[in-house]
Amino acid sequence: MTPDLSESWSIRGVEIPSRLVLAPMAGVSVQAFRRQGRRYGAGLVCSEMVSVAGIQHRNERTLGYLRVASDEHPLAIQIFGSDPAAMAEAARMVEAAGADLVDINFGCPVKKVTKTGAGATLLDDPERACGVVSAVAEAVSVPVTVKMRRGLENGSRACLALGPRLVDAGASSLTLHPRSARQMYTGEADHSLTGELAAQVDVPVVASGDVTSRARAQAILATTGAAAVMVGRAAQGNPWALREILDGDATEPSREEVVAELLLFMRETVRELGERRSTGFLKKFYGWYLGRGRFPRPFKQELVQLETLDEVEQRLLAAAPGAAEVLERLTAELPDAEDDVVLDLPISIYGGG
């Protein structure tokens, strides 16, 4: 039977309206990305990882502070660190800010993170990993979830031994990105491991890695027994991929739609990170939105060279004047920004998972 992606499912009582989850991505999963993901059908969105070390030291170089809006729920906030007590404290803050789920990162392969004993390193330290999960699960009343890779080394099956132990320690769902930390993003995600993991645990498993189309999503759900698929890179500057995966609607967006979504993304990001940080941060998004044959390549180059976001906005509107009206409609549908919760937890500058 073909699994129905638009069916709801739940993680220990938290209802998730579709089987499509938007991936946490450092440097990408800002509030604008998460809200857009929800609008295009993601049943669950996740913040990028927030640093628990930031609570203790406050001297980390950070991008900004996390904002949570009322239209993001259900929302998972991801934390990373290796000290159970600090993780428990962060989890309490995250719960207080309104997270519906607290997600723990055991997948980040980036050296800056792994050398502190956090992220994927914990796949090799089951005792500590379980200690972190049980400390966090005891600290909060919302469900605790874990996102992990297959293991540190290529071919590793560490996730299969660790998964059931994490569930015993209190994890209510596991997300697997079945690449090794060493692989980073090379090769392919081996979802046969996702199937093996799903068969071993009695909590929902989410499949992450290389989900780029409806056909792929359905095949993964049908062959692995996963409860949901997670979409990351395919949704960068491309919320229309979520729509295609969810209901098969592969209509190419008009230029007006593309520009309106990009402009809304820019405005919301300025609100979250401030104008100065957003100027550089947003540059990679221009290519992601305007590429895929939607606009000629020199147009993107031109935007990247402009000095202020105001100029970028003017140039975009000149290229697609009808976007102003679409943008107005999108903006009118957003809830009041004053109701946002701003979390005193830094968004990390280093990413990966």
Ligand X SMILES: Cc1cc2nc3c(=O)[nH]c(=O)nc-3n(C[C@H](O)[C@H](O)[C@H](O)COP(=O)(O)O)c2cc1C
Name every residue whose Cβ is closer than 8 Å to that of residue 339 and which is 6 or more positions away in sequence. Answer: 69, 70
Helix (H) or strand (E) holding 145: strand 144-151
Cβ proximity to ligand X, 37 vs 259, nearer residue: 37
Say whether residue 351 binds ligand X (CB under 6 A): yes
Show contacts with ligand X in window 146-205 (CB under 6 A): 147, 177
Q: Report the nearest approach of ligand X to the CB of residue 328 (Å).
A: 31
CA separation for the pair 104, 142 (Å, rounded): 13
Residue whose Cβ sits closest to ligand X: 353
CB 303 within 8 Å of CB 286: yes
Show contacts with ligand X in window 285-324 (CB under 6 A): none
Q: Residues 11, 14, 28, 91: which binds ligand X (CB under 6 A)?
A: 28
Q: Of 131-139, 198-206, 226-234, 281-289, which segment contacts ligand X by CB under 6 A?
A: 226-234
The DSSP secondary-structure symbol of 24 reads P
Say whether residue 211 binds ligand X (CB under 6 A): yes
Q: Residues 11, 14, 21, 24: which binds ligand X (CB under 6 A)?
A: 24
Q: Residues 81, 163, 346, 353: which binds ligand X (CB under 6 A)?
A: 353
CB 94 within 8 Å of CB 346: no
108 is catalytic: yes
Q: Which of 46, 108, 130, 159 is catalytic?
A: 108
Cβ proximity to ligand X, 188 vs 310, nearer residue: 188
Q: Residues 26, 42, 146, 258: which binds ligand X (CB under 6 A)?
A: 26
Q: Report the nearest approach of ligand X to the CB of residue 97 (Å).
A: 17
Q: Residues 25, 69, 201, 290: which binds ligand X (CB under 6 A)?
A: 25
CA separation for the pair 119, 129 (Å, rounded): 10
CB environment 259-282: b (16+ within 10 A), e (fewer) = bbbbbbbbbbbbbbbeeeebbebb
Hey, what amino acid is at 41? G
CA separation for the pair 174, 207 (Å, rounded): 9
Cβ proximity to ligand X, 56 vs 212, nearer residue: 212
Collapsing DSSP to helix, strand or coil, 344 comes out as: strand
Q: Residues 208, 218, 278, 279: which binds ligand X (CB under 6 A)?
A: 208
Cβ proximity to ligand X, 119 vs 131, nearer residue: 119
CA separation for the pair 128, 295 (Å, rounded): 49
Q: Residues 10, 12, 17, 27: which binds ligand X (CB under 6 A)?
A: 27
Which residues are 15's β-sheet partners? Answer: 10
First to last CA, the chain: 31
Residues that bind ligand X (CB under 6 A): 23-28, 48-49, 78, 105, 107-108, 147, 177, 208-211, 231-234, 351-353
Active centre residues (catalytic):
108
